[in-house]
Amino acid sequence: MAVGIFDSGLGGLTVLNAAQARLPDVNFLYYGDNARAPYGVRDAEDVYQLTKAAVESMWDKGCDLVILACNTASAAALRRMQEGGLPKGKRVLGVFVPLIEALTERQWGDNSPPREVAVQHVALFATPATVASRAFQRELAFRAIGVDVEAQSCGGVVDAIEDGDLILAEALVRSHVDALKRKMPHPEAAILGCTHYPLMEQTFQEALGPDVQVFSQGNLVAESLADYLQRHPDMYGAGEGGYFTTGDPSRVSDRATQFLRREMTFQAA
């Protein structure tokens, strides 16, 4: 068994990398549905069915705990999977809550009523499906009041990253930031609401300016996971992890190695 990390493609590698650095003694099983990426342009039912099938495959491979390191999957599938009932001893967690807890300066697991927070104007950059779901705003409302969120759908960025065209990805990021600023000229904070986007974090920061605090998910999710595993040591799992993909293992291995700047070898899921 191992702790599972799922993403529609390569974006979840940013969470995997941070989690491995934070929890070096934990085995991780990464599963990328690269053959069907990106999820951000699919409808909610499609995302749910694909996510559910992937998570069940990860359970079959020995994972007890699966992190949906995909904001689109977290938005469209997480709550539905949890409410539908999970097999005994299995858990699925998303990536929104650690981000919102950091934004609102709440401790991990703080379930107190929503309250006013320091940051009042927040830019959300996400995939079209995540923006349409309004899942981020819904989760934020459980923890904070009076926060103005302006969401910007960032079409094309994930495709460019998956294709390895970082020049195009940078150009698209700058274009989307410009579009956001026309709607919200002076955001105080920016949420990178897709796990692909930390690969472009420097570009987002440069386009937004030095006064905007940029929140990305890798380290925040890793810290939240460490806290969760400390409270639930039975979910650590044991045995070998590994890297799996529904896409071409050779191509995905090359892309993953390029992104993380360390050798990664994927096998067919």
What string of pLDDT tens digits covers the 269 residues of the chain? 699 999 999 999 999 999 999 999 999 999 999 999 989 889 999 999 999 999 999 999 989 999 999 999 999 999 999 998 899 999 999 998 888 888 888 876 677 899 999 999 999 999 999 999 999 999 899 899 999 999 999 999 999 998 889 999 999 999 999 999 999 999 999 999 999 999 899 999 999 999 999 998 999 999 999 999 999 988 876 667 999 999 999 999 999 999 899 999 999 99
In angstroms, what is the C-alpha Rg of the chain? 17
DSSP-derived 3-state class of residue 55: helix
Rounded distance, CA 244 to CA 161, Å? 19
- For 258, the token pair is 């390029």
pLDDT, position 105: 86
Rounded distance, CA 266 to CA 269, Å? 9
Active site residue: 70, 95, 135, 184, which one? 70
User: 3-94+218-268 and 97-215 share one CATH topology?
Assistant: yes
* Residue pointed to by tokens 């191509």: 251
- For 203, the token pair is 């570009």
**CA-wise closest residue to 122 among 214, 221, 201, 216:** 214
* Residue pointed to by tokens 């994930």: 158
Q: Which phi-psi region, left, alpha or beta, contains residue 32 (left: φ > 0; alpha: ψ -120 to 50)?
A: beta
Strand ranges in the chain using DSSP code E only, listed in sequence order: 3-7, 28-32, 65-68, 91-93, 115-116, 121-126, 144-145, 148-153, 189-192, 213-215, 242-245, 267-268
Active-site residue 194, yes or no? yes
* Other residues' Cβ atoms within 10 Å of the Cβ of residue 71: 34
Active-site residue 154, yes or no? no
Q: Please report which helix (H) or strand (E) contains residue 218, including its range.
A: helix 218-231
Q: Enumerate residues 6+ apart whose C-beta is below 8 A from 136.
A: 71, 75, 96, 100, 124, 126, 130, 149, 151, 191, 193
pLDDT, position 152: 98
DSSP secondary structure string for all residues of 86-130: --TT-EEE-SHHHHHHHHTT--TT--PPPEE-S--EEEEEE-HHH
What does the domain layout of the chain look like in residue ranges? 3-94+218-268, 97-215
Active site residue: 103, 173, 194, 214, which one? 194
CATH of domain 3-94+218-268: 3.40.50.1860
Rounded distance, CA 35 to CA 245, Å? 8
**CA-wise closest residue to 246 among 2, 31, 10, 12:** 31
pLDDT, position 221: 94
**What is the third-level CATH fold of 97-215?**
Rossmann fold (3.40.50)
pTM: 0.89
Q: What does DSSP assign to residue 155? A: T
pLDDT, position 108: 60
Rounded distance, CA 59 to CA 63, Å? 5
